[in-house]
C-alpha cells in the first residue's frame, strides 16, 4: 500500500510540476543566479510547483452503459417469463398479462427498437423497474392474497387488483413505446428539414 502511494505520488501532477520547477532552479544555479543558496532555491521552486499544480482527477466509476443495462434487463425478462409460466391466473388477468409481456418483449427485442431504447436511459430504467419489480410483485401479491381470500371469502376478488395493476403497467409500457416512436418521428422530420434547407441553398441539383 505504501509503495503504491509513493509510486502514485511520483507519477502525480504535483510531483511532475514540482520537479520541472526544481530543474529550473538547477538551471539558475548553473548560470550563477542562485548562488550559495541554490538548495533553498531548488526546494522552494519545487514546493511552489507542487502547490500550483492542478489537482489530480480521480477516474470516473465504470458504470455499465445503457446497452449493457438493457442486455441485463433482457436476461431478467427471460427469467421472469419462466416464473410467470408457473403461475395460474384467471382468464381476464392472464389476457392482460399476455398483452403486457408481448409489449415488453417487443421493446426488448434486439434490433433497431432496442438500439433506440439503449439511447434512452430513462426508458431503460422504466423497463427495468417493470421487469424486475412491478410485474413480479403484482403477480406474487396476487398469489399470496388469493390464498388468504380462500380462507376469508366475501372480500374483493384479488384478481381485480391484479387486472388493474397489469393495465397500468401496460399503459406505462405503451407510453414508452409512443415516446420512442415520437423520437424517431422527430428525427425523420429533422432530416426532411435538413434536406429542404440544403436544396434551397443549391446543394441538391436536379
Average pLDDT over residues 135-146: 93
Per domain, the residue ranges of the chain are: 2-52, 66-200
Instruction: Kindly report the pTM of this predicted structure.
Output: 0.64
Query: Residue 10: is its pLDDT beyond 50?
Result: no
Q: pLDDT for 48-80, tens place per residue?
A: 666 555 666 666 676 667 777 888 999 999 999
Query: Rounded to an integer, what distance in angstroms lies between the CA atom of residue 88 and that of residue 142?
Result: 10
Q: Which residue in 3, 57, 45, 38 sits closest to 21, CA to CA?
A: 45
Whether 135 contacts 64, CB under 8 Å: no
Helical H runs in 33-157? 38-52, 66-85, 91-108, 112-117, 121-129, 135-151
Which is more confidently placed, 165 or 112?
Answer: 165
Amino acid at each position: 500500500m505504501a509503495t503504491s502511494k509513493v509510486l502514485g505520488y511520483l507519477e502525480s501532477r504535483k510531483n511532475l510540476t514540482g520537479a520541472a520547477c526544481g530543474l529550473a532552479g538547477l538551471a539558475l544555479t548553473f548560470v550563477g543566479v542562485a548562488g550559495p543558496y541554490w538548495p533553498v532555491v531548488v526546494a522552494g521552486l519545487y514546493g511552489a510547483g507542487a502547490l500550483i499544480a492542478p489537482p489530480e482527477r480521480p477516474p470516473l466509476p465504470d458504470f455499465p452503459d445503457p446497452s449493457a443495462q438493457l442486455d441485463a434487463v433482457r436476461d431478467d425478462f427471460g427469467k421472469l417469463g419462466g416464473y410467470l409460466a408457473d403461475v395460474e391466473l384467471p382468464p381476464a388477468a392472464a389476457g392482460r398479462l399476455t398483452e403486457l409481456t408481448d409489449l415488453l418483449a417487443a421493446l426488448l427485442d434486439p434490433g433497431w427498437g432496442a438500439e433506440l431504447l439503449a439511447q434512452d436511459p430513462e426508458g431503460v430504467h422504466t423497463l427495468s423497474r417493470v421487469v424486475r419489480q412491478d410485474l413480479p410483485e403484482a403477480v406474487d401479491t396476487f398469489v399470496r392474497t388469493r390464498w388468504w381470500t380462500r380462507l376469508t371469502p366475501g372480500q374483493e376478488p384479488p384478481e381485480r387488483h391484479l387486472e388493474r395493476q397489469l393495465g397500468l403497467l401496460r399503459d406505462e409500457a405503451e407510453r414508452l413505446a409512443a415516446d420512442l416512436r415520437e423520437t424517431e418521428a422527430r428525427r425523420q422530420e429533422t432530416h426532411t428539414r435538413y434536406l429542404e434547407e440544403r436544396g434551397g441553398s443549391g446543394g441538391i441539383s436536379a
